[in-house]
Structure 1
Amino acid sequence: MTNNDTQDALDGAARAIQTIQHGVGRALPLVQALIEGRTLQPGQQDRLVGLLADSARAAGSASELLVYGLGAANPGLRVDRDTLPLELLNTSASRTLHAMLQECLVLARELDQERGWVDSDGECIGWAETIGALELGLRCEVFGARGGGRE
């Protein structure tokens, strides 16, 4: 993985974590009101559900960026990715999946743009961030880091 890929994954994870913090921070007073037995104002229940849904989506993005984009240990894997022989990393199935993820990434960016899911720098921070983490991780497994001679 190149320094640019690593930095992109780190930046994406930081944006996702910031989204989680923002959503949970805004949801807490609403949850507290419910716990105390207060009735939410019209629209606040939908707002609460939306904040929690956005936070859950961002948590998934952050996890995927850390696990797939930066190579953190995946707590669910029984066979560690680092122990797989090279011939199992670059297979027909893995190259096909990578090509499909690249196509999905183009559509995800388009969707994020339509929905306004972009940060102040114009970076897509919705589905494109999630799919981008998967694409980046698989690209590094299949082809190696950019400039490493395997791409």
Structure 2
Amino acid sequence: MTDSRTFAAILLLSAGLAGPALAQSPHDHGGMSGGMSGHGTGAAKPDSNDDAATRDFKAADRAMMTDMDVPYTGDPDVDFRTHMIPHHRGAVAMAKVALAHARDPETRAMAQTIIDDQETEIAAMAAWLKRRGR
């Protein structure tokens, strides 16, 4: 697996999207309503004890979860893209936090790869939606 694929797999697993057995409840929509699966409801709330990186990661997580609250259209091709775009933007935001705070060269390289790959995928999904008048 490439680094970006490994990261994507980790995101899917942590979000409860790898299968129904990982979902917290039948009402949490794969762990993507109200917070990522495995995170308490207050996990992304600011805390005065958080260091700068944690504050930035929490802000990126909160923004992603808010932005992912997109209405469904009933068209799985459209819904896939309209929900993945904010998910990918969240990955880019988290990778930018890593670039700003991480010191490990492998972490920084993975973060840059994620930014590059996700921005390319976001552009492709947005172009697909635009071609279909969405």
State TM-score, norm by structure 2.
Answer: 0.32
Higher normalized helix content (fraction of residues): 1
Which protein has greater RCO, CA pairs closer than 8 Å, 6+ apart?
A: 1
Could you say which structure has the larger radius of gyration? Answer: 1
